Amino acid sequence: MAKLPGPLEIYPLLPGTNCKECGEANCMAFATKMAEHTVKLEACTPLYEDPKYAKKLVKIEELVTPPVREVTIGVGEFAASIGAKLVLYRHDLRYTNPTSFFLDVPDNLDSEAFAKRVKEIEDWTYMYIGTNLRLDGIALRGVSQDPQTFAKAAKNLAGISNWPIILCSLQPEMLAAGAKAIADKRPLLYAATLDTWAEVGEIAVRHNLPLVAYAPGNLDNLATLTNTLRAMGVEQLVLDPGTASKSGLGSTVNNFTQLRRSAIIKENELLGYPLLAAPIAVWADHREGEAPELTKWDEVLTAASLIVRYSDILILHSADMWTNLPLTFLRSNLYTDPVKPVAVEAGLQTFGDVDADSPVLYTTNFALTYFTVESDIKQAGVTTYLIVIDTEAMSVQTAVAGRKLTAEKVAESLEETGIADKVNHRILVSPGMAARISGETEEASNWTVKVGPKDSSGIGKYLQEGKWKEE
């Protein structure tokens, strides 16, 4: 693993004025946050605005630049940032910049089909543990092989979508036409090869655009190509070692692994760039008459393998819910901080038109627990108060076992939320998994505690049948 700078290495390179423009109390606090990678250097505005800090800025940028550089595709709120990786394994620190999913749109579709495909990609979404899972960008494929058609499609795409774009063609004249049409949208150019690096590299430099270096199956050639493009002045690069389908998946995974190990462990700066994978390649093997579901499944397997083996951006074809849902789940879980479980804010929540006779339930602030309970309550259509207790993002059973959910803490939450002033009863419904502390909770709170279902899917029936009010 590359050595990560600590706060005492960063602090001397900061202005040292404690101006608080970064939002932190002082420069040491900012240095600590920088070492933890929870803030970006750009937040220290004096470093960039005051010429007297120019030398410090150069030194600190060299110090904190991650082994895998960051590349930005697109502009505005929908821009996709990829790379900026610091570690090989997420338990060493955590992963940053989740893998971006780009779906393809052929440039030869008629205007109606084109707009429909773009809308299908942008509308794909799924709510998961309070997070809106979605896709990230659009890869415009130069199927027409005609520069004018490609440029027209690129301009059309930029006009109907604010999402980041990859311009996909191995022909320099196609990329030149597309880049000229939408350079202000900062698309990623795909790709420069050993045969086209001069022409495509010049296009990237002229328009100041990020560029993919593509050398399938040969990492030495990829390093040589990267070095040549850097010498030309291409500042932002993405590496594509090729994505083989089916029988070649093992070698593809190995190449991606070797590239990331070279960047982080061996600190080879020529290979310290984000990695692009193209699971869409499996469609090249699709035979006419063959069930498309089989090829879609191959695409999912290829994509999943390369998400866990360091790909920073994927080009996919299928926009089906069943294909992208497991991939977005995998990405979400992989890029969650392993030492910091996802939590929701503690406090009082209401469902339906609550009144003084409404039941009162409680749960923990672990996101998966809370959103499961919330979903089951909404699906049942019941009216209730729900007290969310801070258990340091532990589930009910774990929090009880670890003494993060205690009778005293439940009593404190009842007091803090002021629920006693909102209802005319003193009945509290406990999660079934917290039954063991129900007696202690009654003593600590002076509320009657009824033990609810162990599974939140039973909450609706439990409340609708009035079991919470039974003697």
22: left (phi over 0), alpha (psi -120 to 50) or beta: alpha
Model-wide pTM > 0.75: yes
Helix (H) or strand (E) holding 55: helix 54-64
Give the per-residue pLDDT at 218. Answer: 94
> Average of pLDDT values for 347-354?
96
What would the pLDDT profile of 252-290 be if each residue is shown by its tens digit?
999 999 999 999 999 899 999 999 999 999 999 887 777
What is the helix, strand, coil percentage profile of the chain, to 5? 50, 15, 35
> Average of pLDDT values for 327-352?
89
Give the per-residue pLDDT at 3. Answer: 63
What would the pLDDT profile of 64-81 be if each residue is shown by its tens digit?
889 999 999 999 999 999
Contact 367, 130 (CB under 8 A): yes
Beta bridge partners of 362: 387
Mean pLDDT taken over the chain: 93
Q: Are strands 131-134 and 137-141 parallel, antiparallel or unpaired?
A: unpaired
> Average of pLDDT values for 402-417?
96
460: left (phi over 0), alpha (psi -120 to 50) or beta: alpha
% of the chain exceeding 90 in pLDDT = 82
Instruction: Measure Cα distances from 5 to 28, 60, 214 in Å.
Output: 14, 10, 32
The Cα–Cα gap between 327 and 197 comes to: 33
pLDDT over threshold 60, residue 206: yes
> Average of pLDDT values for 129-133?
83
Q: Among residues 269, 270, 277, which one has the least CA distance to residue 253?
A: 277
Structure tokens at 389: 């207790």
Contact 90, 310 (CB under 8 A): no
Give the per-residue pLDDT at 290. Answer: 79
pLDDT over threshold 60, residue 1: no
Of 34-38, 141-145, 172-176, least confident by mean pLDDT is 34-38
pLDDT over threshold 60, residue 2: no
What would the pLDDT profile of 16-28 be if each residue is shown by its tens digit?
999 999 999 999 9
Domains of the chain (ranges plus CATH)? 7-64 (1.10.15.40), 70-334 (3.20.20.20), 347-469 (3.40.50.11600)
Q: Among residues 28, 29, 23, which one has the least CA distance to residue 45?
A: 23
Q: Are strands 80-83 and 70-73 parallel, antiparallel or unpaired?
A: antiparallel
Cα 36 to chain centroid distance, Å, stands at 19
The Cα–Cα gap between 111 and 117 comes to: 10
